[in-house]
Amino acid sequence: PEWNQVFAFSKERVQSSELEVFVKDREMVGRDDYFGRVVFDLNEVPTRVPPDSPLAPQWYRLENRRGEGKVRGEVMVAVWMGTQADEAFPEAWHSDASYVHGEGVFNIRSKVYVSPKLWYLRVNVIEAQDIIPNDRSRLPEVSVKVQVGNQVLKTKICSTRTANPLWNEDLVFVAAEPFEEQLVLTVEDRVHPSKDDVLGRINLPLNIFEKRLDHRPVHSRWFNLEKFGFGVLEADRRKELKFSSRINLRVCLEGGYHVLDESTMYISDQRPTARQLWKQPVGIVEVGILGAQGLLPMKMNNGRGSTDAYCVAKYGQKWVRTRTILDTFSPKWNEQYTWEVYDPCTVITLGVFDNCHLGSAAAARDSQIGKVRIRLSTLEAHRIYTHSYPLIVLHPSGVKKMGELQLALRFTSLSLAHMIYLYGHPLLPKMHYLHPFTVNQLDNLRYQAMNIVAVRLGRAEPPLRKEVVEYMLDVDSHMWSLRRSKANFFRIISLLSGMISVGRWFGDVCHWKNPITSVLVHVLFLILIWYPELILPTLCLYMFLIGLWNYRFQPRHPPHMDTKLSWAEAAHPDELDEEFDTFPTSRSHDVVRLRYDRIRGVAGRIQTVVGDIATQGERFQSLLSWRDPRATSLFIVFCLCAAMVLYVTPFRVVALVGGLYMLRHPRFRSKLPSVPSNFFKRLAAQTDSLL
């Protein structure tokens, strides 16, 4: 018999000084009986360190059960002390997974996956000729429906009723190599608002279309349409037809775009689809997935909590999955992976999951334990970062820390000049800027690309399951969440807080709250007025000094998930329940009505702020629009006088007088609003024209 099976024992769990290899018959498996055995002293086992060649197996004669001499028969065995870098390690049967059976044996092994190569398929529906409606007493209202796999798009109905309709509309789809789907095009006639008659259709394989690398035009082609049902019911008469309707299409596979299958905020790859357009890599990122600590129990096993954890890392088109460490809350993977980096302003994503496919519950879903994102631009080149990152998951009951993920990272730069060049280069390929997609198109195409990637990786062996891929790609990042809205609002407030602080400081200077500071600002102002050529150099030097000062406070480790920034700790349970609700909603009418009223209240405040901003803008417009004749007359007379004064007065004098007026002492100030402020607030806006 031949087995060609490798068994792996963790050195930390070995408590014996001998290794015994037994040869049994199938009928002896449940008993202590066996044909023979071979015993190895672990102290004499050789050590193999790659890149050494594999250890050659040898024949060993079997001992009988009582150890009284040899029995007939030999077994070929190779025994060595190795590392996880051994070629045999990924396919080995590990001692801590001995109870896994069936398909679960394959689901616990480490694997490397590659995302399918995605293309944008652009279908330009130009025109059709000789369209014959089913009811020949009327002219047709024609539209075209195009389907690729599960993606369906329709053109608008032709504006004129004619047998030769014209559309000239672009429809864009996502297609993946190898091209398994066909382009199915259907011409429809709107005979009733709720009914369309199919006038013809055509099926086209995707591999007949040209692959375009730039924005050069593609030649259009005419295709004959088959009458609906004719190709199935009357195949023998097809050759007899000498007349058929036809449609003019311009179809191409776009190789100059990068197909977005993840959020642009966490993008990990920006290369165009066509390999001919790829640049040389600028660096290499090495990730050591060491282990995890303090994981929480994810399921019940024999009456106690257990976790069977594995880690998934995604960067670019390459996905990696570590082996599953069974029944432990502190798994140790110690696996290292490498990716080529084509742009440092990208993000690598690592997620930890609980394996629920060990042979017993095949229909279960792998549970999420947590996720870590690391932006490569935050890593210093050639430095090794070793750190534990918290695994934080948001549940309907609130935010929960599920444990910590221990990582070692190193980013190696291959070309500093190329790296500097990239920082001035567009983020995406140039086709995204020459012929951009709309925001709605990008959202729809991203959703379709995610589905294609999830389906293709789910067909691998072992599969990288749909729930894992969707969690790694943030498939629901575009959904409404009151918590995210609050987080983004306070992010804006934190940005404006710096400007507000500067404004308050300048107000204190103008009101002489600190006389020494006010005097120093006056001196600096007079120097800059006398030497205006020093303004820009002084500003640049000031920013340089601030940058040097802030170098002391740079983070020692790459940033990770921040619960305060995400507004997760202060989120109300009902807000979290709304965030985890399905779309469309599955909650009761009373709950939906309550949430709708809450959104109306939030939207009312936003509406007020937007209206105030619009009012200020309309007041600026009304300065010269003669909406208020007296205000416009006063303003243009003031502009004429100001122009005459400024023509004869040197700019330094104007700046000096204006600056000293703003910095004047409170003794010369009035508590009432200034004249320009009063004049501006009296200007007319269009609010009185609103219903």
Give the domain CATH number at 461: 2.60.40.150
| Residues 348/287, Cβ–Cβ less than 8 Å | yes
Q: Which residues contact 600 (CB under 8 A, 6 or more apart)?
A: none
| Domain interval for residue 31 | 7-98
The answer to the question of residue 269 being in a domain is no
pLDDT of res. 232? 44
Q: 494 with 626, same domain?
A: no
Q: 467 with 483, same domain?
A: no
| Residues 457/319, Cβ–Cβ less than 8 Å | yes
Q: 461 with 485, same domain?
A: no
The answer to the question of residue 462 being in a domain is yes
Q: 467 with 490, same domain?
A: no
Q: 415 with 546, same domain?
A: no
Placement of tokens 């390999």 in the chain? 275
Among the candidates 533, 564, 587, a domain finishes at 587
pLDDT category at 362 given cuts 50, 70, 90 is low
pLDDT of res. 418? 87
For 168, list phi and psi in degrees, rounded to 5. Answer: 55, 55
Q: How does pLDDT run across 425-465, given as a tens digit for each residue?
A: 888 999 999 999 998 899 999 999 999 999 999 988 888 99
For 432, list phi and psi in degrees, rounded to 5. Answer: -65, -20
Rounded mean pLDDT of 367-386?
91
Give the integer Cα–Cα distance in Å for 11 and 22: 20
Q: Is the pLDDT of residue 486 over 60?
A: yes
The answer to the question of residue 374 being in a domain is yes
The answer to the question of residue 265 being in a domain is no
pLDDT of res. 364? 78
Q: Exposed (0-12), middle (13-18) or buried (19+): which is 355, by Cβ within 10 Å?
A: buried
| Helices and strands (H, E) in the chain, number of each type | 14, 26
pLDDT of res. 235? 47
Q: 467 with 340, same domain?
A: yes
* Local structure of 470: helix, strand or coil: helix
Considering its fold, how many domains does the chain have in total? Answer: 5
Among the candidates 432, 452, 472, a domain finishes at 472
pLDDT of res. 91? 78
pLDDT of res. 102? 65
For the record, the structure tokens of 426 come out as 């567009």
Rounded mean pLDDT of 32-46?
83
Of all residues in the chain, the percent with pLDDT exceeding 90 is 32
pLDDT of res. 141? 85
Of all residues in the chain, the percent with pLDDT exceeding 70 is 94
The answer to the question of residue 594 being in a domain is no
Give the integer Cα–Cα distance in Å for 251 and 15: 67
Q: Is the pLDDT of residue 498 over 60?
A: yes
Q: Is the pLDDT of residue 234 over 60?
A: no
Rounded to 5 degrees, what angle do the CA atoms 64, 66, 67 make? 65
The answer to the question of residue 275 being in a domain is no
Minimum mean pLDDT range among 223-232, 340-349, 506-515? 223-232
Q: 561 with 464, same domain?
A: no
| Residues 419/344, Cβ–Cβ less than 8 Å | yes
Between the CA atoms of 592, 598, 604 and 609, what dihedral angle is there, to the nearest 10 degrees? -130
* pTM, 2 dp: 0.80
Rounded mean pLDDT of 166-183?
91
* Local structure of 610: helix, strand or coil: helix
Q: Would you give the DSSP letter of residue 238?
A: G
Q: Is the pLDDT of residue 228 over 90?
A: no
First CA to last CA distance, the chain? 90
The answer to the question of residue 271 being in a domain is no
Between the CA atoms of 498, 504, 505 and 511, what dihedral angle is there, to the nearest 10 degrees? 170
| Residues 119/126, Cβ–Cβ less than 8 Å | no
Q: Which residues contact 282 (CB under 8 A, 6 or more apart)?
A: 341, 342, 343, 344, 413, 414, 415, 418, 419, 422
3-state helix, strand, coil in the chain (%, to 5): 35, 30, 40
Find, among 620, 603, 607, the residue nearest to 686 by Cα: 620
| Residues 581/483, Cβ–Cβ less than 8 Å | no
Q: Which residues contact 14 (CB under 8 A, 6 or more apart)?
A: 42
Q: Which residues contact 330 (CB under 8 A, 6 or more apart)?
A: 291, 292, 293, 294, 295
pLDDT of res. 30? 65
Among the candidates 405, 438, 472, a domain finishes at 472
Q: Is the pLDDT of residue 577 over 70?
A: yes
Minimum mean pLDDT range among 39-43, 104-108, 338-342, 591-595? 104-108
Give the integer Cα–Cα distance in Å for 110 and 502: 54
Minimum mean pLDDT range among 290-299, 353-362, 375-384? 353-362
More confident residue, 49 or 174: 174
pLDDT of res. 585? 83
Mean pLDDT of the chain: 86
Minimum mean pLDDT range among 103-112, 169-178, 630-639? 103-112
Minimum mean pLDDT range among 27-31, 119-123, 218-222? 27-31
Q: 463 with 327, same domain?
A: yes
For 630, list phi and psi in degrees, rounded to 5. Answer: -65, -45
The answer to the question of residue 342 being in a domain is yes
Q: 144 with 244, same domain?
A: yes
Rounded mean pLDDT of 341-370?
85
* 151: enclosing H helix or E strand: strand 151-154
pLDDT of res. 243? 56
pLDDT category at 28 given cuts 50, 70, 90 is low
Placement of tokens 């992976």 in the chain? 337
Q: Which residues contact 244 (CB under 8 A, 6 or more apart)?
A: 130, 200, 224, 225, 226, 227
Give the integer Cα–Cα distance in Å for 322 and 108: 8
Q: 445 with 483, same domain?
A: no
pLDDT category at 404 given cuts 50, 70, 90 is very high
Q: 23 with 129, same domain?
A: no
pLDDT of res. 319? 94
Q: 78 with 157, same domain?
A: no
For the record, the structure tokens of 81 come out as 């002390």
Q: Is the pLDDT of residue 351 over 60?
A: yes
| Residues 486/211, Cβ–Cβ less than 8 Å | no
